[in-house]
Structure 1
């Protein structure tokens, strides 16, 4: 863990240096030495100051501010690189003042455009469709709606739940699966914003099933599970539900729960001649699960990186970080999530609902 923090800190210094250099490149070149020093101190002071405060005093508000600052620096660096590259390609013979003005206008447009696109991606979910055929009898096809990582809280609440209800109704799903991180650490904002009546409207003919993710296990898991159950959602915690005598829905808590059961042991408790649909918040056990009689697994957690280049990083760290793969005996789905973590921004990913049409032999 310590080496990850150290690496992250060093990367932050590199991007801070690039950002400060880029800002000075966009500012008038006749700035005084004092002003230039102030730019450097401001860039490194904000980032490093928030980093060290968080290191000794973890706070959700400070964490969001720190994350937002990191995104400002990242988008600033991406913008400056894009503007510089455009200048190298076009090689316009403009006077220095006109060139500097063009740089600033283009940089401002790109920078705020990245934020606008990221905000749109975070709050405008798309529906991804898949159709799979499982290797077990299923009397008739099942349409499964999947929404992971809602992170219900201050920035994501009743309006987004209402939209999720409309999507599931429009898609006419038979069953809804919610594989973890439904709350943003606790139920405080959920209760203050009176989200319960909205979540109670999330219904499907064969039921709504959920399991707890890592953000549901930060000390408030009992309260979160009770809140979900009061909303009519079946919370699976190392157990399975027999759905209409047709198939099983099996749910595991996140691996943060050190007492969670092994999947193979859970499967011994049910008749696996019937189809088995598994909710497992993280996609970290796929290579083990593909050897087991699991027909469909749905996961989330990694948010498809949420913000570029995070999507590239999670792809390196996971067997399947996003999308769908048929592996071994089953079909595996990892969604980018319906909500977001921390700040309402997505770049290189988009909030989504997954709809799976499953048919049997």
Structure 2
């Protein structure tokens, strides 16, 4: 596999999941998961504009950002983030650790102006194709450094077990917090799939669920490699992805 550099490709990855407990029969749910964009001023805004156009062509039911959207203050990339206002599907995001480092408040203000709703520590019920589904979100687990508390017990206690539920949270190991509560699917990122082999072996020590699909007890977990970079602006044996999830 060749080394990937920069922001050129649109690596859509189709993933089909059959979840017995997630019933939208006879219809399916299509989700675009965007993770770990790590946007800086060096990213050409036209890339994000085209990305949004391509997402709209897919016609997803939801667009979910699983954290680490920025790698600079959101004030430095307002034009970049403004591209998301053209998303046609209902869109939500949760903060990642880098979003908090560079300013979660400014990010929220600009994302909300662009029509992308913050899901941190919230539950939202949506009617999708005639079925009620729950979206739950957690802020990043490192938020305590900035005085941000996660009401984990309250979030899970307030879930309605009668409804299919998706948990959006940046770090995969938050799946251990679910316990016996009903969460049909967790969507996460954070790991970049290791980004540069053999660094992936070190990542696995801290994130046992680090790339792709897993089952943890009764919860399906999908960990996206994401499309951005941290540190070196390269990837090797950890290909970028824009995940197109179809839940049957």
User: TM above 0.5, one fold?
Assistant: yes
Runs of 4+ in 1 over 3 A off after TM superposition: none
* TM value normalised by structure 2: 0.88
1:264 to partner: Cα distance = 3.9
> Matched residues in 1 for 2:65 and 2:44: separation?
16
> Matched residues in 1 for 2:179 and 2:29: separation?
21
| Aligned counterpart, 1:286 | 175
Match of 2:14 among 122, 126, 129: 129
| Secondary structure of residue in 1 paired with 2:4 | helix
- CA RMSD of the aligned region, Å? 2.2
| Aligned counterpart, 1:174 | 61
1:352 to partner: Cα distance = 0.9
State whether residues 252 and 260 of structure 1, in contact with CA within 8 Å, keep that contact through their aligned partners in structure 2. Answer: no
Please say if 1:322 is aligned against 2:211.
yes
Counting only pairs closer than 5 Å after superposition, residues 260-275 of structure 1 correspond to structure 2 as: 260-275=149-164
> Matched residues in 2 for 1:336 and 1:201: separation?
24
Match of 2:132 among 236, 246, 251: 246
Deviations 1:144-176 (A, max 9, x none): 110111112123241331232133223221111
> Matched residues in 1 for 2:88 and 2:229: separation?
22
More strand by share: 2
> Matched residues in 2 for 1:152 and 1:319: separation?
26
| Aligned counterpart, 2:202 | 313
> Matched residues in 2 for 1:241 and 1:212: separation?
16
> Matched residues in 2 for 1:285 and 1:270: separation?
16
| Aligned counterpart, 1:195 | 80
Deviations 1:3-35 (A, max 9, x none): xxxxxxxxxxxxxxxxxxxxxxxxxxxxxxxxx
Counting only pairs closer than 5 Å after superposition, residues 89-104 of structure 1 correspond to structure 2 as: none
Please say if 1:210 is aligned against 2:210.
no
Gaps of 5+ in 1: 1-112
Bigger mean CA deviation after superposition, 321-330 or 194-203: 194-203
* TM value normalised by structure 1: 0.62
> Matched residues in 2 for 1:273 and 1:354: separation?
27
1:221 to partner: Cα distance = 1.2
1:196 to partner: Cα distance = 4.2
| Secondary structure of residue in 1 paired with 2:69 | coil
| Aligned counterpart, 1:338 | 227
1:329 to partner: Cα distance = 1.4
Distance 1:349 1:280, change over 3 A: same
- The structure number with the bigger radius of gyration is 1
Counting only pairs closer than 5 Å after superposition, residues 27-176 of structure 1 correspond to structure 2 as: 117-119=3-5, 123-132=8-17, 133-139=19-25, 140-176=27-63
| Aligned counterpart, 2:142 | 256
Q: Which has the higher contact order (CA 8 A, sep 6+)?
A: 2
| Aligned counterpart, 2:111 | 228
Aligned length: 240
Gaps of 5+ in 2: none
> Matched residues in 2 for 1:303 and 1:182: separation?
13
> Matched residues in 2 for 1:164 and 1:291: separation?
38
> Matched residues in 2 for 1:131 and 1:315: separation?
24
1:182 to partner: Cα distance = 0.9
